[in-house]
A and B are shown apart, each in its own frame.
Chain A
Amino acid sequence: MHIMEGFLPLYWAVVWWIVALPCLIFGIYQLKKVLEADREALPLLGVTGGFIFILSSLKLPSVTGSCSHPTGTGLSAVCFGPWITSVVCAIVLLFQALFLAHGGLSVLGANIVSMGIIGPLAGYIVYRALRDTRVNMYLTVFLACALADLFTYFTTSLELALAYPAEVGGIVSSFVLFMGIFAVTQVPLAIVEGVVLALVFKYIVALKPDILLRLKVFPEEKIRAARSEA
């Protein structure tokens, strides 16, 4: 999902930085509040952040004959919301920009917006819509994770389309072009990522249900039902 350094004109690089910065600042503020209220939230942040580190380093082959990597942001979005997730993503993306030449400092804003903000936000919206319904808890996590992954790549495509509208058809046709490169590759990866992270969530429920209850990730009945089943 990275936009490579230099491939975004200065104007757009600045625009996406301006979009990303308030979200990051709000995320840092929220993070401080959550950790002050409950120190036991820190290990959970470690797990969800750890999976962002692991999954975003795995470049997997896909049906289009090209490679792409999952994002792993859905789990963090479900547990902590999109703003705190954007802070963790910013750290991962900074690591990749500095040491791996994946992304870069000027395009970091754009990459934070796609992987750290819009993707997790999409996952979070789906999760919030399904949280208090009868929909299975793990299915909710699966959908949130898979959609967070897909929307990250939708956003990357949109960012590139806005910066490089096609001569014929403008932004829309160039969006379709970039979607062909990014999104199609991503579909199988997003499904696998969703299933794997739902499984990870099952282990969190089994080992540390009280932190999920205190953070009000899911209603008590749902977590209790899931535990009595396992």
Chain B
Amino acid sequence: MPFKYRLEILAIIAVFAFCILFLYTTSIMTDAEFAGSDTLGSTQIAEMTGKAEEEFQPLIWQWAPPSGEIESGLFALQAAIGGILVGWVFGYWKGQKKRTP
């Protein structure tokens, strides 16, 4: 199947299917909280050991973002760092290719 954009089409279908799946999930699971699986794992541990989650104190002191807003901002910063790296290198390669055909 020598079609130029088949991977692009596949990627769009995959992302689209993922969104449909998400909409379907929210429609049948109206009480879903969409909490992080990290948090659910911790809750599970608390349940198994019979200890309250607050009893699990950090072994090494840890700074935590004071609110969800600040946390999401820092996550965006992390993604931005990655995005800058990727865009920079692809541009660098593109320029290199132009100069040496």
Q: How far is the CA of A63 from the CA of B84 in the complex (A)?
A: 31
Contact A181 B65 (CB under 8 A): no
For B58, what are the chain A residues with a Cβ–Cβ distance below 8 Å?
5-6, 104, 106
The number of residues on chain B lying at the interface, defined by a beta carbon within 8 Å of a beta carbon of chain A, is 59
Q: How far is the CA of A106 from the CA of B3 in the complex (A)?
A: 50
- Tell me the minimal C-beta distance from B77 to chain A in angstroms: 8
Given contacts A4-B42, A230-B4, contact A46 B79 (CB under 8 A): no
Contact B92 A53 (CB under 8 A): no
For A65, what are the chain B residues with a Cβ–Cβ distance below 8 Å?
25, 29, 31-34
Q: How far is the CA of A188 from the CA of B93 in the complex (A)?
A: 32
Contact A66 B34 (CB under 8 A): yes
For B4, what are the chain A residues with a Cβ–Cβ distance below 8 Å?
229-230
Whether a CB of chain B sits under 8 angstroms from the CB of A155 is no
Contact B90 A203 (CB under 8 A): yes
For B59, what are the chain A residues with a Cβ–Cβ distance below 8 Å?
5-6, 10, 13, 104-106
Given contacts A43-B89, A47-B89, contact A160 B41 (CB under 8 A): yes
Contact A198 B7 (CB under 8 A): yes
Given contacts A6-B59, A230-B4, contact A178 B44 (CB under 8 A): yes
How many A-B contacts at CB < 8 Å in the complex?
176
- Tell me the minimal C-beta distance from A143 to chain B in angstroms: 14
Q: How far is the CA of A207 from the CA of B10 in the complex (A)?
A: 20
Whether a CB of chain B sits under 8 angstroms from the CB of A162 is no
Interface centre among B2, B25, B45, B88 (most CB of A within 10 A): B45
Map CB proximity to B onto A129-160 as digits: 1 under 8 Å, 0 otherwise.
Answer: 00000000010000000000000000010001
Whether a CB of chain B sits under 8 angstroms from the CB of A102 is yes
Contact A181 B11 (CB under 8 A): no
- Tell me the minimal C-beta distance from B78 to chain A in angstroms: 4
Contact B93 A185 (CB under 8 A): no
Q: Which of B60, B79, B92 contacts A43 (CB 8 A)?
A: B92
- Tell me the minimal C-beta distance from B55 to chain A in angstroms: 9
CB closest residue in chain B, given A2: B38
Whether a CB of chain B sits under 8 angstroms from the CB of A57 is yes
Q: How far is the CA of A215 from the CA of B38 in the complex (A)?
A: 36
Q: Which of B10, B62, B94, B96 contacts A5 (CB 8 A)?
A: B62
Q: Which of B32, B41, B76, B85 contacts A50 (CB 8 A)?
A: B85
The contact sample of 14 A-B pairs, CB cut-off 8 A, is A6-B56, A6-B59, A47-B89, A52-B82, A54-B82, A54-B86, A55-B82, A57-B79, A59-B75, A65-B31, A99-B74, A104-B60, A177-B48, A208-B97
Ranked nearest first, the 10 interchain pairs of A and B with the lowest CB-CB distance are A53-B82, A65-B32, A50-B85, A54-B82, A101-B64, A50-B86, A106-B59, A57-B78, A195-B14, A105-B60
